[in-house]
Structure 1
Amino acid sequence: MLAGLQDCISQSELTEEEIEAIAEHEHLPEMAALEYGNYLLHRPDGPPAIKKIIFEDIEAAKRRGDRDHALALKLVLRRFVQEHPDAQ
């Protein structure tokens, strides 16, 4: 990960794993995913949208048979919901 990106992540309200999940789902570079995720977090419907993104990534990983990635994403989803109760 680039140093500048790491600095931005440390100032955001998202984890690196959450940003990677958004990047995977939206087919975006990580910096764009960070900006999009930050935008979503500050919208009333944003946290549920991010939750849905991560959930859909889990389902896609399951369909591909990538159980390890699905499990890792489940942990990302769990942490996200714990940190952002408005994602319910």
Structure 2
Amino acid sequence: MLTFEDCQALCGASRGVVAAIAEHEHIPEMAAAELANYLCENEAGERCIRRYILDDIAAAKRRGDKRHAAVLEAVLHHFVATHPRAEK
């Protein structure tokens, strides 16, 4: 049986990215790991993930959650560093 950690490791995105996708799309993290796997297959998908994280950062800032916004900014920085096609 595969665990969530197994699925997350196979999807090509970090745990933070999977959590950000789950937050943005209002879906369970297991479904977010599947979506991350699909989106990380091409440049357009990676740009979509970047947009999700940016949206989550803006939402956190709007509600005054500076700590969560800072965590998401670190997630974004790591994602762009490991998926350079997301910046194009």
TM-score band w.r.t. shorter chain = over 0.9
Deviation at 1:75, TM superposition (A): 0.1
Letter in 2 for 1:40: L
How much identity, in percent, do the aligned residues show? Answer: 47
RMSD after superposition: 1.1
User: Which residue matches 1:79?
Assistant: 78
- Number of paired residues? 86
Deviation at 1:56, TM superposition (A): 0.4
Deviation at 1:8, TM superposition (A): 1.1
Which digits, 9 at most, give the CA deviation of each residue in 1:20-72, with x for residues without a partner? Answer: 00000000000100111111111331111100000000000000100000000
Supply the distance in 2 between the matched residues of 1:44 and 1:85 (Cα, whole angstroms).
9
Q: Any stretches of 5+ residues in structure 1 without a counterpart?
A: none
Paired residues for 1:47-86 under 5 Å: 47-86=46-85
User: Which residue matches 1:45?
Assistant: 44
Secondary structure of the residue aligned to 2:80 is helix
Higher RCO (CA < 8 A, seq sep 6+): 2
- Kindly indicate whether the alpha-carbon contact (under 8 Å) linking 2:11 and 2:36 is maintained by their aligned counterparts in 1: no
